[in-house]
């Protein structure tokens, strides 16, 4: 499960989770911005 929390000064976000959740997030972001199945 992913957790997203604002930083102390509300200038960003802290995203935390296990490897597979973060990997799924990265792939979803790539799909939205148009990178498709490209890997890092």
How is the chain split into domains, by residue range?
14-40
Strand, helix or coil for residue 6: strand
Q: What is the pLDDT of residue 34?
A: 83
Q: For 1-40, what is each residue's pLDDT tens digit?
A: 999 999 999 999 999 999 999 999 999 988 898 876 655 5
Helix or strand (DSSP H, E) at 33: helix 19-33
Q: What is the pLDDT of residue 36?
A: 61
Give the global pTM.
0.61
């Amino acid at each position: 499960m992913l957790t997203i929390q604002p930083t102390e000064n509300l200038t960003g976000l802290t995203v935390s989770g296990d490897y597979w959740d973060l990997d799924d997030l990265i792939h979803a972001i790539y799909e939205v911005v148009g990178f498709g199945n490209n890997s890092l």
